[in-house]
Each structure stands twice: as C-alpha cells, then as structure tokens.
Structure 1
Amino acid sequence: MNFQQKFRLPIRKSVFWPPVLFLILTLVASILFSGVFEENMKGIQSWLLQNFSIGYSYLSFFMLILICWIMVSPLGSYRIGGKEAKPRLSFLSWFAIVLCTTIAVGILFWGSAEPLSHYLFPPSFKNIEPASTESKEFALGALFFHWGFTPYAIYAVPALTFGLLYYHGKNSFELGLMIKPLFGSNLPSFLKNGVDMLSLFAMVSGMAGALGAGILSLSGGILHLSPNSSQVAVPAIITICIVSTFIISASTGIEKGIKRLSLFNLFFFFGFVLVFLFISKGGDFLNSLVLGIENYGKEFLDLSLQLSGKGNQWTYDWSVFNFAMWMAWAPMAALFLGKIAKGRTVREFILVNCILPAAFCLVWMAVFGGSTLGFASADPYMYQESFTENGPESIIYLLFKEINQEKLMTFLFLIGMFISYVTAADSSTEAMASLSLKGQTKDEFRIPTGIKIVWGLLVGAIAFVMIFYSGIDGVRILSAIGGFPAFLFLILITISLLLLSINPSKYLD
C-alpha cells in the first residue's frame, strides 16, 4: 500500500463536514464573544436540564432495569455475530479496553473531589448538616450512584443493540441501525445522517473538552512539581504528546495499539490503588466500601426517580448533568463497544460492559473517596478552603500531601492521567473514523489510518485553542447540550432493545 492509498480519505461528506464546520464556528464564536457565548450556552443547558430532568432520570433507571431483565431473558444466551462467531480478543484484553474506554480520566479527577463536594455541600432536600456523619454517608451513597451500575447501563444498552444488529446480516456501520426493530429499513437517509452528525458533534466536542481539562490538570501537576517550568511550553508539549500517542496507538488497530495500551492502563490502575493503600496503611477502605454500598442501596430509588430531589439545583448539577454527559457519548461509544464484542454471548457482554466496570469503579471510589472523607472529617475547613479557592482539581493533591507522599503519588497520578486519556481517546477516534468512513472495510477491526489522523489532529487543535483563547467551559457545555438529541435517540434505542429481548428470534434468527 503506497502513501497516497494509505492516507486517502473515503469519508461520508454529509456526515463528516457539518459537525466539523459547526464546531469550528462555535469555537470562533467562543473566542470572539466569549462572555455572551458562554452565558447563552449555559442558559440553554440549564433550560434543557431543568425541563427534561425527569426524563433523563427515568430513562437512566429504565435502561438499568432493562439490562437486568436481559440477563435472565432468552436473549441472554444469544451470541453476538451468530452461533459460529469467535471472539477476536481475550477476555482480559476485552475487559481492559471496555474499562479504559468508558472511564477515561473521570475516576482520577472526581474520585476525591465529588464526595468532598457532597460532604461539604449536601443537597437541601436531604436536610442534613454539612461536614457531618450523615453528610459523609450520603456523599458515599451519591458517589456510588453516579459511578455505579446506572451510567454503565447507559453505555451497555446502545452498545448491545448495535453489536447484535450490526453483525446480523450485511448492515452498514451507522447509528440508525440501532432503531431498525422500530422502523425497519425504512428510515430516511436525512434522519440517519442527522443522527450520525449530531453524535459526531457531541463526541468531538466532548473529547476536545475532556482533552482540554486533562491538559490543564496535567500542566497543573507538572507545574506543582516544577514551579519554574514555562506555563506556555508545558501545556503545548503535553498536547503534542497526548495527541501523537493516541493517533499512533489508534492507527495500529484494535488488536495491537489499543489492546496493549488498555492492558497497561488496567494494570497501572491496580498498581496505583495498591501503592496508595500500602502508603496510607489501608486507610478506611473496607469501612468506606461497606458504608458506600449500604448508602447506595438506601439512596438508589430516591436519586434514580427524584422522589425528594425533584426541582432541586443539586439534582440538576450532579445526577442529571452526569447522566446527560454519559448519554452524549453513549451512541458513539456504542459503535466501538458493540464492534469489539463479536463472538461473545449477551450475558458475557453485560458482565464485561456493565457489572465488572461498575464494580471496579465502586472499589476505586471507596479507596480515594473514602480516604478523602476520612481526612476531611478531621479538618473540614481546610478542605473547604482548598475546594472553593483552588478548585476541585486541588483535592487529590491535598490527599497525597496528607499521606506524606505528595511527590511520588503526584508523579504516578500524572502518568495515570496521561495514559487514561490516551486509551479513552483511542477508542473514540476509532469510532469517529468508522462512522465517517464511506463504504465498509473488509475487516471491521481495521479502519484507514488517514481518517484517524484527521480526527486526532482536529480534537487536539480545538483543545489547544480553547485553553489559550477561550477556556474549555463553552465547548464542554456544548457537549452536554449535545446529550439532548442523544437522550431522544436513546429512548428509541431502549425500545428497540426491549423488542429484541421480548422476541429475539424475530430479529436475529
């Protein structure tokens, strides 16, 4: 294959160009009219979250119930790709890729900051004192709710639907495929392209926002360790390193670069937890895990269905916003997660895409969230001052200082941040390239390199410009707004999967 063939871009122009051009226009608007742009975007986001708050919560809850039903339904024994299909990945590699695709840098950043926020500023509808035993218990329960089984069900429902239908017959790599049980093959082209465009836009803006936040966090950590470093050069070097690494990794394919980097990331996560537990002498891990699970069960229905928190700002800012962000990414992530599940049974899929990742996150949150709350209980005013004056990103470094290993743990944390973003960006780039590809490849695990390079450079450029000219909030808010059409689309996908589970032979045999 010569150079020209390798980097030819056989793109779906009607899907590729509109989100790219619109994102560039919004980026220019955020630079030229930063205050007005961000204020308007926040207004739209607030209106959507408030007016569709119940919808987000109820859909998330029903998606989890549906996943539980499928585990025991006849659909659970079906094999993705047909009875003769064989897995392309080992079980461990598959789990590593799924985990690293879905958590990105979220657990690293929010593992300490989120529970502290709930502890210091509990919701008014709970009528509990800030920085009290009751607020600590609620903080762990809310943390487990936001990072437990519900968000993974949001990913699992569309991913399972896509995997089952994509490998059944000769289907195109399109998001509209997931609602085929509802509309058959009669979905108009403009609707299929519209869904693909909106999902691409939400994914690109979300990736750029996450990369911008990651660059700022990494820069802050490096400048924390080396205060004399350049505040311009450090972010620039980090951007180049991250973008180059995930482009190279994604370009080598799922079975090489993405798999190897994900396995490294998985083992790094386990090693990081063990090092922290060893240095902190275990902290209050087991008690936090038990307390978190207990209060997760206690708060589950209330937070899921907004029984007491309906209309409360805390509900909008945390539960609804979190699930809106997961929903914004879910359709695009489903393309990748469904594709790599070939040869696995539906029950195996749910185990690896929902149960095991959620369990991993709960353990992680018990370690770092529980430790943070333990130290904050001894001196809540110091933690509150750091949270309000230095931002939530400062809390993890304060935790490392408490265990007297600030430099070592900060260094390891920065490595984890870097690798975690790269591994998540790998799969996202793969999904974006697959969706914008014209026609089908002979091997669904091998996508042309040129498309991946274009997406990687575009995401990196947007993130870098945001950091230095407009800030990342505007585009990140735009990504959350992109979660609204994804929310509507996910309603249809959920109904489609329900139909599949009730009568699988009708659609899959």
Structure 2
Amino acid sequence: MTDTSSDQGIPEPEGAAAIIETDYNIGQDNIDGQVGPFGFDIHNPVFLISGLAIVAFVFYTLALPDQAGAAFSWLFSAVTKGFDWFFLGAANIFVIFCLLLIVTPVGKVRLGGAEATPDYSYIGWFAMLFAAGMGIGLMFFGVLEPVYHMAISAPLGVPSPFDADGNLIPENVEAAKQMGLAATIFHWGLHPWAIYAVVALALALFSFNKGLPLTIRSAFYPVLGERVWGWWGHVIDVLAVFATLFGLATSLGFGAQQANAGLNHVFGVPIGPTAQVMLITGITAIALISVLRGLDGGVKVLSEINIAIAALLLLFVLLAGPTMLILTDFGQGLAAYVREIVPLSNPVGREDTGFVQGWTSFYWAWWISWSPFVGMFIARVSRGRTVREFITCVLIVPSLVCVLWMAVFGGVAIDQVLSDPATSQVKAQVIDSYNPPLSLFAMLEGLPLANITSVIAIVLVIVFFVTSSDSGSLVIDTITAGGKVDAPVPQRVFWCVFEGAVAIVLLLSAGGLQSLQSMVISTGLPFTVVLLVMCWAIWRGLREEPR
C-alpha cells in the first residue's frame, strides 16, 4: 500500500483500519461522479462502459438473432463442460469460509461499529432478503426440479423409479424420491446463500465499518490499496454490473415464461414471444413506479406483500395436499441433503455429467451472477448485525425455508406422479413432455380450488418479477454511481428499462431461454474469481476490526 497521507496534509493514523479510512478520503475525489447530460451521475468510466456495452449488446442481439443464438449456445456448452469443476470447487470454498467466520472470534465484529443497532426487524429483513434473492426461482423450480431429478437426471447415478415404458419400479421409488429432494435442496441450500453472504458481508464491512463507498471495488482495498480507485476498480465494478444484469435478465425470462404459461392455463392467453415481451414490458413499467418510490416505499412494501402471499400459498398446498407425507418428506429430504451434500459437492470424477453440467454448474454461475445484486441489497439492510448473527441468519434460516418450500411443492408433485402416473398432469408436463413453465400449475390442478390458486400463483410470480427488477436497478445504479445510494432518478430509470430490454432480446434470440442461461454462465465465470479474492479481503478486513 502506498502512503500518500503526508502529501495531503493529513496526519498519519494508527492502525490498518485508520489507514483505510484516510486513503478512502483521498480516493473519494477519484470516484465522485458528476451530473452530466440527461441527469446521469457519470462515475468515471464505469457507467459509460457498462451502459454503452449493454446498449450495443441489445442492438446486436436484435439485429442478428440467429448468429447471437448460435454464439450463446456455444458459450453455454463450452463453459459448463470446461469449468464445471471450477464452479463446484469455488462454491465449496464459499461455504467453508462462511462456516469458519461463524466459529472464529471475528464473528463478534458488529457491522456498523460496536454501537450500531439493526435498521430493520427480523421479519422485515427476511422479507426483503427472500423477495430479492430467491423469489422467481422458487416459483419456477419448486415443482419442476424435485420431479425432474427423481425421474430423469439421476444425480449420483440413483436410478429413475420409471422404466423405459413409463411403468413404476417399486424398489427404486424411495431412493429416487429422496435423491430428487436432496439434489434440489443442494441447489437452494447452503451453497447459494454462502455466495450471497460473502458479497453482502464484504460490502457491509467495508462500507459501514471502514467508511468506503457501497460498491464492489471497496471490498478489494486490503488487496489493491489505492488502485481500487483506478482501472482495477473500474474493471471490478463493470464485471459486477454485467453479472448482475444478466443474472437478473435470466430470472425475468423465467418469470415471463411462467406467468405466460399460467395466463394460458387459466385464461387461454396465447403462449409465445409476443405475450412474453408484453409481460416484460408491462411489469418493467410497474417496476419503474416502485423504483421511483425508493427502498422503503417501493421494494420493502412489495417484499412484504410477496412474503404474505407466498406464505398463504405454501400453507394452502401443505393443508390441501397429503400433509403428513409432506412433513415426512421435509425431514427425509433434509436428512438426505445432509447425507449427500459431500458427494453432490464433489467436483472430481463425476459420472452424472448431465446433472453436474446442466444443473449445478448453471446454478452456481447464476447465484454468482446474482451475488452483487442480492449481496448489496442484503448489505444495505443489515447494519447493526454481528458477523456471526449475519452469517447464521443469511446462511441457515433461508436454507431451511427453501427446504420447506421444496418439500411442500415438490413433495405434493412427487406424490401426484407416483400415486397415479397415468393421469398425473405433473408427469405429463415434466417427465413426458418437459414443459417447465407449466409445472407449478400442473401441480395446483391436482388440488382443490385450482383456478383460484393458479391466479394467486400468477400474481405472486408477477410481484416477485417486479421486486427483482426494482431492487436490481437500484443495485446496478449504486455500483455505476460509485457507491452512492441517492443517485439521480433518470439513471435508475435507465437501468430498470435496460434490464427488461436485455431479457426481451435474449428471449427473442434463436436460443431463447438457453441464451439467457448462456450469458449467466459467461459472466459468472470471471466473477467467480472476483469472489474468491473477496474472501481473502474480508478476512483481512475483519482481523483489523476491534471485537
């Protein structure tokens, strides 16, 4: 680290934390933006590079959809097959690192200083965390994934309960059922939340405790020193913008397809690109209203509405389905997850390559792409928590809720498939024809009040859609404005609009949904390296803090 404090007439402070604060005061002159044309806060090259690149990407994909689709398909195949070991190994490191923080003395450090108190209650905190972090994904994959892993993907080589003619093989049923739940929980449990926790902790620590801007580059001060205010920092923030934008676009694409399928199922609305583009456009317009209302008036209110509706739907499915069987599945699924987490996490010598490359690698890249978005969002609402409390809550509690969600929705769907394979709508939509957006509505069709609950599910998908777009634009806006949480409104509007535009052009490209997945994979790969270095920076920063 280069000492320039004497050049500025600032007395040299004592201690590493004080050095960081002094250098931040010097570096702040370099990251302060200025209000430019159209009211944008020009943050050195970050906003211009990010904005121009995204605009160019949208026009390229619209102008050459077939060429773009072929390129995206190649990217998806190359990265998932060539770097599956890297994604699995990195995710394991994030889990181990978080568990280490819980049990070591640095867990006593309080985010915001020793006297800081939490800004939000646990209920409000969890509501915002879930709505931003897992909303659309739980709705899209809650039924699809447990059934698919049970019957088709064969994680760890566990055989399907169906033979080639679609007949049940009784001796395979129990093992396949437990593996279906365990593999699903694996993708929604400790690993994704550890990824989110790493980024959120880094941002909260270096912003609230060190006085640095609330942006990704700040976490690298212990590693890069003053260079974080230069091109090294610009590159980190630009990568964060790209990863966040494409991670969000993928979720918006999933949400649009599921909402379109639900509207077709209930009201007969045609399924296709036109309807999905109209959905993304309309929901982006609603998200703009929430963006203008800010964090407390927009995202927080919508998040709490989301959680209330989701809890009601979860309770209905639990009570309307085979309740005791679902509760048994919850316990058995959790036990199977604990039992299989090590072999499922193993990146070496796997024979179930379809599962590892097509599912796990994509998921880890998706969570890593989402991590700047969810991490910054969690950081902004987590002041006042100790590191131990923060990691425990972010890592353990949401994982248990995800287990419950998958056990309820997936357990009912599996029961419908195994009880009556000949007439099960879930089997028809997931196993026989593979129609993921309809899987949730197929499960609800087998329960009472199907039309009512399907409408509620559509509303829930749309509101999750709005919250993701809204909070995502606030986060990207903060990154491109150098960590400012009160950047000009036109800039927030720009990012909200282009999130929707990216989702639209990728859905319209030749690859469709695979194009969305390809961009997540390609941006998640370099950002994985960023997160690995971030772990070392967090450790150094925490060791400097008084406990």
Aligned twin of 1:494: 535
Aligned twin of 2:515: 474
| Residue 374 (structure 1) shift | 1.0
1:163 has 2:207 as partner: no
Q: Deviations over 1:429-451 (max 9, x none)?
A: 1111111115x65xx4x443222
- 3-state DSSP class of the match of 1:252? helix
CA distance in 2, matches of 1:315, 1:230: 31
Mapped contact 2:137–2:251 kept (Cα < 8 A): no
Mapped contact 1:111–1:364 kept (Cα < 8 A): yes
Distance 1:329 1:62, change over 3 A: same
CA distance in 2, matches of 1:230, 1:186: 50
Distance 1:427 1:24, change over 3 A: same
| Residue 496 (structure 1) shift | 2.0
Aligned twin of 2:122: 91
| Residue 173 (structure 1) shift | 3.1
Distance 1:310 1:171, change over 3 A: farther
Mapped contact 2:79–2:521 kept (Cα < 8 A): no
| Residue 232 (structure 1) shift | 7.7
The correspondence for 2:191, drawn from 125, 150, 169, is: 150
Q: Deviations over 1:258-280 (max 9, x none)?
A: 21111111111111111222322
CA distance in 1, matches of 2:54, 2:139: 28
Aligned twin of 1:377: 418
| Residue 319 (structure 1) shift | 1.3
The correspondence for 1:418, drawn from 437, 462, 473, is: 462
**Amino acid across the alignment from 1:201:** F
The correspondence for 2:87, drawn from 41, 50, 56, is: 56
Identify the range of structure 1 (460-469 vs 449-458) with the bigger mean alpha-carbon deviation.
Answer: 460-469
Mapped contact 1:66–1:498 kept (Cα < 8 A): no
CA distance in 2, matches of 1:363, 1:57: 24
| Residue 76 (structure 1) shift | 1.3
| Residue 13 (structure 1) shift | 5.1
Mapped contact 2:181–2:410 kept (Cα < 8 A): yes
**Amino acid across the alignment from 2:128:** I
Give aligned-pair identity as a percent: 23
The correspondence for 1:448, drawn from 482, 488, 491, is: 488
1:358 has 2:399 as partner: yes
Mapped contact 1:162–1:334 kept (Cα < 8 A): yes
1:252 has 2:293 as partner: yes
1:9 has 2:40 as partner: yes
CA distance in 1, matches of 2:96, 2:37: 45
| Residue 229 (structure 1) shift | 6.7
- 3-state DSSP class of the match of 1:222? helix
Q: Which runs of 5+ in 1 are unaligned?
A: none
Q: How many residues in Structure 1 have an aligned counterpart in Structure 2? A: 499
The correspondence for 1:26, drawn from 38, 57, 65, is: 57
1:182 has 2:223 as partner: yes
| Residue 179 (structure 1) shift | 2.2
- For 1:57-456, list aligned pairs within 5 A: 57-123=88-154, 125-131=156-162, 132-133=172-173, 134-187=175-228, 189-227=230-268, 234-235=275-276, 237-280=278-321, 282=323, 284-306=325-347, 309=350, 312-380=353-421, 383-387=426-430, 388-389=432-433, 391-438=435-482, 441=484, 444=485, 446-456=486-496
CA distance in 2, matches of 1:316, 1:390: 18
CA distance in 2, matches of 1:318, 1:31: 28
| Residue 237 (structure 1) shift | 5.0
| Residue 395 (structure 1) shift | 1.6
| Residue 161 (structure 1) shift | 1.5
Q: Deviations over 1:182-212 (max 9, x none)?
A: 2333346112111111221122222223223
Distance 1:417 1:127, change over 3 A: closer
CA distance in 1, matches of 2:55, 2:487: 25
- 3-state DSSP class of the match of 1:482? helix
**Amino acid across the alignment from 1:21:** L
- 3-state DSSP class of the match of 2:211? coil
**Amino acid across the alignment from 1:462:** V
**Amino acid across the alignment from 1:393:** P
Q: Deviations over 1:267-318 (max 9, x none)?
A: 1111111122232252621111011011101210001123662672321111
**Amino acid across the alignment from 1:301:** V
Mapped contact 1:30–1:474 kept (Cα < 8 A): no
Decide which structure has the larger Cα Rg and report it: 2
**Amino acid across the alignment from 1:274:** L
Mapped contact 1:75–1:500 kept (Cα < 8 A): no
Aligned twin of 1:462: 502
| Residue 426 (structure 1) shift | 2.5
CA distance in 1, matches of 2:289, 2:309: 20
**Amino acid across the alignment from 2:139:** L
Q: Deviations over 1:214-249 (max 9, x none)?
A: 222212211221226797875455334421222222
Distance 1:467 1:327, change over 3 A: closer
Distance 1:104 1:416, change over 3 A: same
Distance 1:229 1:318, change over 3 A: closer
CA distance in 2, matches of 1:54, 1:467: 28
CA distance in 1, matches of 2:538, 2:223: 10
